[in-house]
Structure 1
Amino acid sequence: MAGLRDTWRKYREWFYSLVSNDIGIDLGTANTLVYVKGRGIVINEPSIVAVNQKTGAVVAVGASAKEMLGRTPAHIVAVQPVVDGVISDFEITSEMLGYLIGKAQAGHTKLLGPRVAVGVPSGITSVEIRAVRDAARAAGAREVHIIEEPMAAAIGIELPIHEPRGNMVIDIGGGTTDVGVISLGGLVNSKNIRIAGDRFNRDIIAHLRNESKILIGEKTAEEVKIAIATVSPSRERSEYAIRGRDLVTGLPREILVTDNEIRNAIGHSIEELVESIKGVLESTPPEIVADIMGRGIHLAGGGALIRGIPEFLSDALGVPVVVAQDPMTAVVRGTGVILDDIDFYDHAILPGEDDLVPTE
């Protein structure tokens, strides 16, 4: 009987692969990544939509919308439909997902709508989960599976999540940092912390406004962060030229900022983040903490690329910390792995009406 069920499952998967695409999505506050089975990661675009307020029409999505930030006429606004990892504007999110799913399938559209797996922050509410499902359905998905981001990241970086030993993942994204402790295929402990890349950008803007009396936008702050942000004192000074508006004269002005200035700007937020991570370790069972000390903590997300952050966290937590290979794509790669064998990873998927009945 078991052999018959396995045969039926394989036949079912084969049939659906002919008539429907499998698509994994990392729906992030800053960027949305899309994976298509058989083709890999095909989209990595900013989670931004430009909307005409007069007509309600979507003017641009993704990279083209981001280019409009701070440069649009009054009636066109750039909207981030995902805030702190959750949907803040349902209709705009549906429009964005519809555009991205359509773009991902361009030239590869099949008879049925795609089966979609979406990574979401850990600990989001049932209402927020329903909003993600409904937005994906409205964008054309025939079936939607929801996976918490720490779990998806762990699977994406090939951690042995089904073993009876603890693994810890920290995913530092744009809107939130997700901390997950995983054992036996499930999350033993997790926390969603609203300190991440966007908070660091705001810190940089505030610091330059207060200390240098110059006003810059989010896009410039992001560029500064990527170029020279560090969390540890640097032996070799790095500088970056920025342009903004002088708050005294009101005229354009260019200044040089240093890596140590940016370290000071984001320092308080980094310390808050460390304290929150310590709280997760303190509430984790001691046997699993012992496993984590032996195996280390794995960093994913764009924030993992900030200079010095693994060493800083390791010193603060007393645990080895390593950056995952290609950390920015860990979550979306994990959704793809799950779609490849959805029965095997059934326990990693949040319960819902769309979930496939696992093979007995």
Structure 2
Amino acid sequence: MWFWRMGTDMGIDLGTATVLVYIKDKGVVLKEPSVVAIDKNTNKVLAVGEEARQMIGRTPGNIVAVRPLRDGVISDYDITEKMLKYLIRKGVGKRRISAPKVLVCVPSQATEVEKRAVMDAARNSGAKTVYLIEEPLAAAIGAGLDISQPNGSMVVDIGGGTADIAVISLGGVVVRSSIKVAGDRFDEAIIRYIRSKYKLMIGDRTAEELKIAIGSAFKGLRDLSMPVKGRNLITGLPDLVDVTTEEIRMALQEPIRIIADSVHSVLERTPPELAADIIENGILMTGGGALLHGLDKYIESETGIAVHIAEDSVSCVANGTGKVLNAFEKLDMSMLDMEVQLIEK
């Protein structure tokens, strides 16, 4: 049984790859991979977060390491609820307390069913009241943008499951797009490329390591190589190949092109006055996917607009929920359109 104590409001960035928990007046207290290890025989949770991530691809038959969120939304409700309960308890420490208010981020074009699943999971994990906020809006606030002004700001938030692109003005989202192409799709593209060229099967973790260590989205910015171990699909035996930055760039061409096209589409639908502001101020990139080497240069070359990567881009969304919580009395949380409307005193 949970015991309630006031002053424990929480913001949760419920990401496909990572969950971040923000506690009011304390900041981001937890950052864990969105992975849960389950014993299939007993349906018992064995590990959550980084400990469970280490088990991916390495578990015996009765243990499965699963990611309960796919493409930015809940794919396994029961496991998501168990993961949230564990992470909230870990975030608040040993005291048995819960959060009277929880603010959860969702993709900008989440369906009503997806929104309801997030709210129900948060409530069943110990929240008394649940509010939702669009990820690009929270990212903009977390990055320090003053979204209350009548100026256009463009945010491209690239996470693990979705890339959310939004033009924000006067505290609301004017134009939005959410695509299910982000960090996970980068990893899948690398796996397919290595399998096709070298007939070598590698796992998600190896693909992510390649992406971070030697990957690049823009030609000529990096010239690195890395030995990669995997299973040879022809012999069935372990094998080793050297992979270069240029090969990773070629592997990533399709997903980064889709993101650039989506940014282009949002710009086409942006009102002229706001488009002029974006040309002047540039595009702000947030999220873990924004850290792909050279992605900012790639989007800049495709749009002709300067692109800036937010400081601490991984935590921007979580920090945005924190700023909203800390100024809650000034905000009207709209449950219908998922936007946070700023109200003048």
2:92 counterpart residue number: 105
Higher strand share: 2
Q: Match of 2:38, as an amino acid?
A: V
- Whole-angstrom distance in 2 between the partners of 1:84 and 1:109: 32
Deviation, 1:18, is 6.3
CA distance in structure 2 between the aligned counterparts of 1:222 and 1:123, rounded to whole angstroms? 26
Cα deviation, residue 287, structure 1: 1.1
> What does the per-residue CA deviation read over 1:96-152, in whole Å, with 9 as the maximum and x for residues that have no partner?
000000000113544x54421111100111111111111001111111111100000
**Secondary structure, in 3 states, of the residue corresponding to 1:19?**
coil
Inter-partner Cα distance in structure 2 for 1:181 and 1:352: 15
Q: Distance in 2 between matches of 1:317 and 1:109?
A: 50
Conserved? CA contact 1:343–1:359, under 8 Å: no
**Deviation of residue 19 (structure 1)?**
2.3
Report the identity percentage.
47
Amino acid at match of 2:74: I
Other-structure match for 1:7? none
Given residue 63 of structure 1, which amino acid in structure 2 is its aligned partner? E
SS in 2 for 1:124: coil
Query: For the residues of structure 2 that align with 1:235 and 1:294, how far apart are their CA atoms?
Result: 26
TM-score by length of 1: 0.90
SS at match of 1:142: strand
Could you tell me which runs of 5 or more consecutive residues in structure 1 were left unpaired when the two chains were aligned.
1-16
Q: Which residue of 1 aligns with 2:72?
A: 85
Q: Please give the residue correspondences for 1:1-360 in structure 2 after superposition, counting only pairs within 5 Å.
A: 19-110=6-97, 113-234=99-220, 236-346=222-332, 349-351=334-336
Tell me if the contact between 2:286 and 2:314 (Cα under 8 Å) persists in the aligned partners: yes
> How has the CA–CA distance of structure 1 residues 273 and 288 changed in structure 2, closer, same or farther, with 3 Å as cutoff?
same
- What is the distance in 2 between the residues matched to 1:334 and 1:350? 18
Q: Deviations over 1:132-186 (max 9, x none)?
A: 1110011111111111000000000111101011101000110110001100000
C-alpha distance in structure 1 between counterparts of 2:209 and 2:22, whole Å: 26
Residues 31-76 of structure 1 show CA distances to partners (whole Å, capped at 9, x for unaligned) of 1111112221111111011111121111111111111111111221
Q: 1:268: Cα distance to partner?
A: 1.6
Cα distance change, pair 352–121 in 1 and its aligned pair in 2 (3 A): closer
Change (3 A) 1:309 1:78: same
- For residue 200 of structure 2, what is the amino acid of its counterpart? I
Asked if 1 retains the 8 angstrom alpha-carbon contact of 2:7 and 2:24, the reply is no
SS in 1 for 2:330: coil
Q: Residues 56, 263 of structure 1: CA spacing in aligned structure 2 closer, same or farther, 3 A cutoff?
A: same
Q: Alignment length, in residue pairs?
A: 339
Structure 1 residues 4-48: Cα deviation after superposition (integer angstroms, max 9, x where no partner): xxxxxxxxxxxxx96240111110001111111222111111101
SS in 1 for 2:127: coil
Which runs of 5 or more residues in structure 2 are unaligned? none
Task: Note if contact 1:50-1:79 (Cα within 8 Å) is conserved in structure 2.
Answer: yes
1:239 offset after TM fit, Å?
1.1
1-side partners of 2:147 and 2:108: how far apart? Answer: 16
